[in-house]
Amino acid sequence: MLRHGQSTANAAGVLAGWAPEVALTERGREEAIAAGERLAGVPVVALYSSPVQRCLETAAALGEGVPAPILDDRLGETHYGAWTSRSLSELAQEPLWRTVQDDPAAAAFPVGGKHRAESMAAMADRVWGALVELDDVVTQAHGPHALWVAVSHGDPIKAALADAAGVGISGIQRFRVDPASVSVIARHEGRSAIWAVNTTHGALTAYVRQSDREDVGGGDG
């Protein structure tokens, strides 16, 4: 899973959500290009993306080594409702902020304005459901060793990692996902394993054909 590069909202300290026309900064474009370079030599068979602009720009910057992106709303950002486009420093003063940090399973964003609202748990369910379904589709088409990329957002990727780790939405804040970072989740026979979290440097070829290996005694290390 690849988080989009730095956006104008990231740089401004604003919670973008699904707000339109939030683009990558120049730094974000450079980060996305670098992510594409990290994928060199990785046989990516499919590329799925959130339809939000900053993810589309990230997917487009990955280069010719990956397929054209297939858009899936389920990979989109959390629907933050009335919190959308507000400053993070302002939101940090609200009681709900502490709920999001300390008890995310109980966090539901307020309805208001033109933006949809959902709970953190609902977001996690849709993202994980999408990843499992898409992985099954890719596996059926390309075999169990196939590697594919999902371009998404910070909270959705954190939620996916929490699900893969078996801790669920309550453990989402245990993970950090920086702009343009890559996290690797492997699935085999219905089980999930986390191969990498929040990586921003180095080739990704090490994860080729490892996804179905079962480890005993801690692996190779």
* Domain layout of the chain by residue ranges: 2-207
pLDDT, mean of residues 25-34: 99
First to last CA, the chain: 24
Separation CA 124–CA 163 (nearest Å):
8
Separation CA 181–CA 129 (nearest Å):
22
Residue 214 has pLDDT above 60, yes or no: no
Residue 92 has pLDDT above 80, yes or no: yes
Distances (CA, A) of 135 to 30, 33, 195: 28, 25, 16
Predicted pLDDT of residue 219: 52
Residue 197 has pLDDT above 60, yes or no: yes
Residue 208 has pLDDT above 90, yes or no: no
Q: Residue 194 in contact with residue 188, Cβ under 8 Å? A: no
Q: Residue 40 in contact with residue 96, Cβ under 8 Å? A: no
Predicted pLDDT of residue 174: 97
* Choices 3.30.413.10, 3.50.50.60, 3.40.50.1240, 3.40.190.10: CATH for 2-207: 3.40.50.1240
Q: Residue 39 in contact with residue 116, Cβ under 8 Å? A: no
Residue 63 has pLDDT above 90, yes or no: yes
Query: Which one from 31, 77, 79, 153 is the annotated catalytic residue?
Result: 77
Q: Is 77 labeled as catalytic in the residue annotation?
A: yes
Residue 171 has pLDDT above 60, yes or no: yes
> One-letter amino acid identity for 184?
V
Predicted pLDDT of residue 209: 66
pLDDT, mean of residues 36-40: 97
pLDDT, mean of residues 103-117: 96
Separation CA 199–CA 183 (nearest Å):
6
Predicted pLDDT of residue 210: 53
The residue written with tokens 């910057």 in the block is 61
The tens digit of pLDDT for each residue in 138-163 reads: 999 999 889 999 999 999 999 999 99
